[in-house]
Structure 1
Amino acid sequence: MHTITLAAGWIQTGTGLGNDIKSLIFNVAIPAMCGVFVVVVGWKTKAPGPTIMAVIFAGIVWGLSANMGALKDKTTEDITNYNGGSRLSRMDQ
């Protein structure tokens, strides 16, 4: 009896497209949308206060999306420490 993997090429193609789309989102779409956000807020309000806050907010969003790998490692570390850390009694929870 032979084992046949159906749609093996489609699976690899989908994985490749997924990685490319993820790269486009994080490297192009998020920075572009942050820029559009700042321009729109500046255009609509025509005031420096809200525009500066929009720049700060866009910088935070852009920075967090650029450091997604570091955030993933930190989250994994926190979960591992929580699961393997000190045992809590029922009363502590």
Structure 2
Amino acid sequence: MAIRERSRLAEPAKRAFRFALHRLPRRLRPRAQAVAYQLKALLTDRDVRAAFVLWPTANWLLDAAALWAFLAAYGHAMEPVALLLA
């Protein structure tokens, strides 16, 4: 199903990129295309996609843990679920 969703969204993404690309100044177009090709190459790598999910999630959870520790240090201990929802 993920493959079908990706292929279904590929064509609108291409159209949106082309639309934006034609509105950039000519001198910026090659750089924008190079960035798009690099991003496409990165996202086709399974390990890179996993890292794109793993590291931001770990960062968010560590931020929440730090917030919980600071609140606990000032005497206001919260339940972890309430903290994550807040």
What TM-score bracket applies, with the shorter chain setting the length? Answer: 0.3 to 0.5
- TM-score, normalised on structure 1? 0.39
- TM-score, normalised on structure 2? 0.41
